[in-house]
Amino acid sequence: MPFSACPKDCFDSCSIITENSNGIRIRGNPSHPITSGFLCYKAKFFVDSAISDKRLRRPLLRDGKRGEGEFIETSLDRALDIVSEKIRETIKECGAECILPLEYAGNRALISYYFPRRFFNRIGSSFLNHSLCDEAGSMALRSILGTSVGMDPEKLKEMKMIVYWGINPAWTNVHGWRLAKLSKAKIYVIDPVRTESAKGADVHLDLKPGTDIPLVLSILNVLSRYGISSPELSSIVSRYDPEYAGRITGLGAKKIEDFALDLLDKRPFAIHMGYGFQRNLYGGLSVKTIAYMMTLLGMERNFIYDAKHGIDYEYLGGISKNKRLINQVNLGRELEKNDIRMIFVYNTNPLNSLPNQNLLRDVIQKKDIFIVVHDLFLTDTALFSDLIIPAASFFEFNDLVDSYYHDYINLNQKVMDPPGEAISNHDLFVLLSKKMGFNEPYLLEDEWSIIDNIINMLKINKNDLLKKGFAKIERVRNELIINKSNLKEELENFTIPSRDGYFRLISSTSIYGVGSQFNNLYSFDTYAHINPHDAMEMGIDDGDSVRIMNEYGMIITNVKLDDSIGRGIVLIYRGSWPSIHGWNVNFLTTDSVQEYSMGASMNSTFVKVEKV
């Protein structure tokens, strides 16, 4: 009985039982303590994606102007010749740092994610600073606690209260949501939108976007009455009484006071900090302020944000020879000022997922950059490339998948061959190393050798892994190093971004997609969700066509009146394909970066809305 493992960028990292007789069938591994025999909504597309007739099967070489989608087929061998020749040419003309592997978390399987880095470390290329998703909050946690690694979610059953802050687990962490609902804990959801999670919570705090910090400071104000003082911040906290913060956040004083008292009385509690709210201009600082509050309540270990498990990443990816990092969030601006001649795209779809798409696409059109894309489908990024190499689905290679949420590592076994000349990340870079004349054993190491080495490092019994499809691994537990020294100065400089006459744009994950993945396989929700009262004031009815615009771009779409959306907010789900749907929310999102790790601030985007 073969096992698969979902490698998508998701908390749950599911273990899957896969059958491939008369077609592929999948089901959740019932023995897995987290997966518990069921899969998420997105799993319905795993098989559809793998067997889709839209998949790429042969390498494609551009045969026309960039972006027009004109390609001719070539062989994999010829494609690798072209890539290796271009690498040599680029290194000779301007050095290896002019080559940029543009990759991210579209495939989080350990070999698929890290093995290509062995090649790029070997040649000494530049690398990407992964600042798009969670790094701002991670850096903020490290700055105050010394670690971003929080609690084991299996301990949720011991909590008296569970707070989901800026996350919609009913869609994006379904197995964690199940653990919470099975517990006897009181559940809070903090979110500007009345999501499915908010509907299923005991309490929904529908604060205004970007007001997380005033909420925390007001909680500290309430706690100070009960002997929980915050000496480092007393002069700031005193200004945020519940009445004042209630107006700023839109929550009112009573909700803030009740929440503060629950935090005081319902210990132990856990706070699962999502990634959406830290993609604000002060998102990292918001995370840091929440962590500070938790230290005062003795709950500094009881957050969920990230997990680490002692995996040797230098073994997996090699040792870096070049320290130049290109920031991910404002890639268009980075490409304008840095000499990049060649980009190799894998595990990501940047001409969909990155903000300020108009600038990024304009720069790519103007600059002489040779772009290679390795993907399963003809994505928007692939349409703008010079060479496309078809990729393998996760049913078509062997690998291991860990989790940034729970403490299990899952086995992924190959159950079918890739179609045509589609090729896995591992096999592609083995062949490319050979084309380059590299013969170092670590560049040619096979999948099972790497798997064996990793499970030996983690002290996993291989027979048990093959029998169960997963293994429990030990979470890294760093010593906490509490550092509150800079927080007051940072909070003194905090302001709530606002623009008169503009709506706050929130770009959230849809129920079925992971980034842009799978969104080419079903009818994607391209509506602009707006509060009915806001729409009425603008003379807009349900289904009307509207123009949404700002300094970054403009889109035209239809409105869905949605009373789950707070006033002054436009919600658009991210991940639509411009090549299919005509636009993408990232034609509007800001590429401004925040202080922490130059992280993303897309949810600090403001837009005007007008009826067409």
- The first and second tokens of residue 512, run together, are 């079925």
For residues 328 and 591, give the distance between their C-alpha atoms in angstroms, rounded to a whole number: 10
d(Cα 170, Cα 198) in Å, to the nearest integer?
Answer: 9
CA of residue 44 relative to chain centroid, distance: 20
pLDDT score at 588? 99
Query: Average pLDDT for residues 118-141, to the nearest whole number?
Result: 97
The whole-number pLDDT of residue 320 equals 82
State pLDDT tens for residues 273-291.
Answer: 999 999 999 999 999 999 9
The identity of residue 144, as a single letter, is I
Q: In terms of Cα–Cα distance, which of 11, 5, 114, 4 is closest to 403?
A: 11
When the pLDDT of each residue in the chain is averaged and rounded to a whole number, the result is 97
Closest of 46, 91, 116 to residue 389, by C-alpha: 116
Confidence of residue 477 (pLDDT cuts 50, 70, 90): confident
- What is the C-alpha separation between 505 and 588, in angstroms, rounded? 9
Q: For 131-136, what is the mean pLDDT?
A: 97
Task: Check: CB of residue 535 under 8 Å from CB of residue 546.
Answer: no
What secondary structure does DSSP assign to 191-227, as a single string? -SB--HHHHHSSEEE-PPTT-HHHHHHHHHHHHHTTT
Pairing of strands 186-190, 161-165: parallel
Ordered structural domains, the chain, with CATH: 3-131+316-472 (3.40.50.740), 135-304 (3.40.228.10), 496-611 (2.40.40.20)
Tens-digit pLDDT profile for residues 160-213: 999 999 999 999 999 999 999 999 999 999 999 999 999 999 999 999 999 999
Written as six digits, the tokens of 580 are 């299919």
Contact 372, 385 (CB under 8 A): yes
Give percent of the chain with pLDDT exceeding 70: 100
Which residues make beta-bridge pairs with 412?
A: 399
User: Rounded mean pLDDT of 242-255?
Assistant: 99
Q: By the 8 A CB rule, do 523 and 510 touch?
A: no
Contacts of 437 (CB under 8 A, 6+ apart): none
Which token pair is 240?
A: 């945020």
What does DSSP assign to residue 31?
A: T
What CA–CA distance (Å, rounded) separates 242 from 214?
9
CA 115, distance to chain mean position in Å, is: 20
Res. 255: pLDDT tops 90: yes
Residue 515 to residue 347: CA distance in whole angstroms: 11
The pTM (predicted TM-score) of the whole model is 0.97
Between CA 304 and CA 152 the distance in angstroms is: 8
What pLDDT is attached to residue 478? 84
pLDDT tier at 37, thresholds 50, 70, 90: very high
Amino acid letter for position 114: Y
Phi-psi region of 205 (alpha: psi -120 to 50; beta: other; left: phi over 0): beta
> Which range, 372-381, 473-482, 507-516, has the best average confidence (pLDDT)?
372-381
Residues in the chain: 612
